A = this chain, B = another copy of it.
Amino acid sequence: MILARIILGLLDLAPMSGYDLKRHFDTTINHFWSADRAQIYRTLARLVDDGLATVETVAGAKAPDRHEHRITERGRAALREWLTSELDRQPERDAFLARLFFAGSLDDAELAGLLARHRAAAREQLDALEAIRASTPPPADRRARLRITTLNCGLARARAELDWLDEITEELT
């Protein structure tokens, strides 16, 4: 459901093939959503079925043919409707917290290792986001500002995570 909306949002920025979409999911969009290739192609087919997008086969000059997808008026309406619809709270799901919750049977060294490994991953995540932001030009229009805003959210979360980790690593000596 949400994936379909996100794809509509991306198609609203520019016409794209499934491959282009996959690249967005792996880069620009990555800090708040990701998707598998198979899933993207299936969703695209459904969007076309539902009349929210159209396909056009573009013969590739120096590459295989692309199926370029374009958002339709109905697609734009659906996107708008999603943006203004009620927020559905999504359930929290955190595999690391799950481990930590049940880590009572680990000894001190094992627990410290668990925390250290998670900290390294969190640090990496933060660095990656900072790198992206550093290479992003200052926002020109509103869309660009919103894009940076979502990045900043990722940054804020990553920093909070690191702070919390430092705090509890001390606490659980």
Contact = CB atoms under 8 A, between A and B. Distances in A.
Interface of A: 2, 5-6, 9, 12, 29-34, 79-80, 82-84, 86-106, 110, 113-114, 117-118, 121, 125, 141-143, 145-147, 149-150, 152-154, 156-157, 159-161, 163-164, 168, 171-172
Contact of A102 (B9, B92, B99): B9
Contacts of A33: 91-94, 97-98
Contacts of A149: 100, 168, 171-172
Contact of A101 (B9, B159, B172): B9
How many copies the complex holds: the figure is: 2
Contacts of A32: 92-94, 97-98, 101
Contacts of A154: 92, 97
A11 to B, nearest CB: 11
Contacts of A171: 145, 149
B172 A164 contact: no
The 8 closest A-B pairs by CB, nearest first: A160-B160, A9-B102, A104-B143, A32-B97, A156-B164, A34-B91, A32-B94, A97-B150
